[in-house]
Structure 1
Amino acid sequence: MAALENILYGANLSNILSAHKNTVLDVLAWMPYGVTHIGAPFVVSGLMFVFGPPGTLPVWAKAFGYMNLTGVVIQLFFPCSPPWYENLYGLAPANYTMKGNPAGLAAIDKLFGVDLYTSTFIASPVVFGAFPSLHSGCATIEALFMSHLFPKLRPLFVIYFLWLWWATMYLSHHYAVDLVAGSLISAVAYFVSKGTFLPRLQPGKMFRWDYDYVERGEPIDADAPYGLTDIEEYLLPDSDEWTIASGSSLSGNNSREPSIGMRSPGAGDNWDGDTLASSSDHEDHKL
C-alpha cells in the first residue's frame, strides 16, 4: 500500500502528517479514532429511530453491517500492513507471528497512565487488516445517513469525516488508499439502500410518529428527460386507446366499448366510407 500511495499521491501522506507530533495533536487524533468511532453507531441508530421515517433504522443497520462484513472479508483475503509496520520493519516480509502495534495511540496510554490501546493492539487477531479502513467506512456511512436525515447539518458531518481521515493517518494506522477504499464501500452500501429501501423524508415531518405512510427509494422524476415513461408515451401516445382498439378488434362486436383507431365494417355498422366492393362497382359502371 505504501508503494501504491506513492504512485497515486506522489508521497506517503501518513508519514507526512505524523512527522510532527505533540500532545495536543495526539488528543485531537485520539478523540475521533478511539472515542467517537466506538459510540457513533449507537448514537446514529438512536437518531435514525427517533427522527427518521418508520423503517429507517433497519435499513441503516443492514447497510452498516454489510459494509463492515465486506471490509472484513477483503481484509482476510487481501491482508495489507499499516504504516506503522513500514516505519518499524521497512520492506521486510511480514508474517503472522508478528504482533500488532498501537502506533500513535501509545502516546495516549502514556498520557493517561493506562495500558489500554497497547495491550489491545498487541493481542489483535487481525494485524494486517489495514485495507480497507473500517474506521473510514464507518465515518463515511454515518455521515451519509446523517446527511440524509439532517441535510442542513451536512457540513458538520463532512468535518467529522475529514477529521477522522486525518486522525487515522496521523496515528500511522492507515494509508490514504485504505481510507478511500473504505469510503467507496460505504458509498455503495448507502446509495443502493437509498435508491431502493430507505424510507423517504416528507416535508413538515420531524419525528417517526408524524408519518402516516412510508415511501421507499428514490422518487420518480416526471420531468427527467429520456425516461422510460417518456419512451413508452412516444411509442404508444395513448395506451388506453391502444388497449381499447386492440380489444375491440379481437372481440368483434361483442365489445361494449366503441372501437377507436382501426375499424372494420360488420353487421349493424353504418359504414359511410368506400369499401373495396363499392370501388369495384364504380369501376364496372365506368366500363
Structure 2
Amino acid sequence: ANVLDTIPPPLLDRMEVLELSGYTLQEKLEIARRYLIPRQLKAHGLTRRNISLPKRVVARIITDYTREAGVRNLEREIASVMRVAAKRIALGETKKIEVTISNLREFLGPPKYELEVAERVRVPGVVTGLAWTPTGGEILFIEATKMEGSGKLILTGKLGDVMKESAQTALSLVRSKARDLGIDPKIFQTTDIHIHVPSGAVPKDGPSAGVATTLALISLLMERSAAPLTAVTGEITLRGQVLPVGGIKEKVLAAHRAGIKEVILPKRNKKDLEDVPEDVKKALKFHLIQTIDEAIALVFPKRKKRKR
C-alpha cells in the first residue's frame, strides 16, 4: 500500500510498516545495468552484441524521459529503445544498434521533462516548494497573483483543508509584517489575492507548503523574483516560526532530480538529513532556518549597490 490512511488503525497496529524511499540517480543507473537492461534484452530477443546502451545515455533517459521515485517508467523507456532496435535488426537495416545522446530522439522522441525551475520562478509571485506524495517527493510551484478587489483570498489547485488554512496563516503573517517589508498595508483592502498550485487535478494537503506560500506572497507584493534554483519546505506559524515537516529525504531527492541547487529546511529537520545519500548532499547546499525572516534573506538577497 502506498497510503496508510486507508488501512484501519487496529489492522495497522498489527502490521510492520516498511518505508521505501526513492532512488538516487546512481542507484537507478545500477538497477538499470544489473536488472532492467538484461531483462529487456531477453524480452526482445536481443543480446549486448546487438545493441550498445552506454551509461551516459541511460542517465539522459532518467533525467529527460522520467520523473519518478522508482524505476517503473525507466524500464518502460528502456523497453521502447529495445523495440525500435529489434525492429531495425529484424528489417535487416543493421546488425548492431549504437544508442547515443545525439540519436536518442530517434528511439524515444523529444524529451518529456525539462529543467523548468529557473524559468517558472523568473516572475514575481512564484516560489518552488517541496511536497511528499505516496510515490515519492515532488517539487511544486506556488503561484500568487493580485487584482483589484476587496481583500479576498482565492485558493485553487485542489487544496485540502490543512493547506488552505496554511495559506490563510501565510497571508495574515505577511499582513502583519507589511511595513517591515516595504509593502503598503492598504493594498490588502483594495486587492484580491489568488494563490494557485498547478496540477489542479492532483489533490494536495498538509502544512509543509506554509513557508513557500508566505514567500510567494512576499515575492508578489514586493514585486521581486525569488532565487531561481532554490526550493523550500516547512510549516509556518502566525509568529513567523518555521516548524519541522516530514518526508525530508524524499523531498530532497525530488529537488536533486529537478536540478535545484539550494534547499531551505526547518532547523529541527537537521537530523533527517542523515538519511539523505552522500552524493546528493554534496550536490546541494542546505540552509536550516528557524524563522521566516531567515528565509526572506535567503530567497530575496539584498541587491548590491553599484559603484559610481
Interval containing the TM-score (normalised by the shorter chain): under 0.3
Higher relative contact order structure (alpha carbons within 8 Å, sequence separation ≥ 6): 1
The normalised TM-score by structure 1 is 0.21
Larger radius of gyration: 1
More helix by share: 1
More strand by share: 2
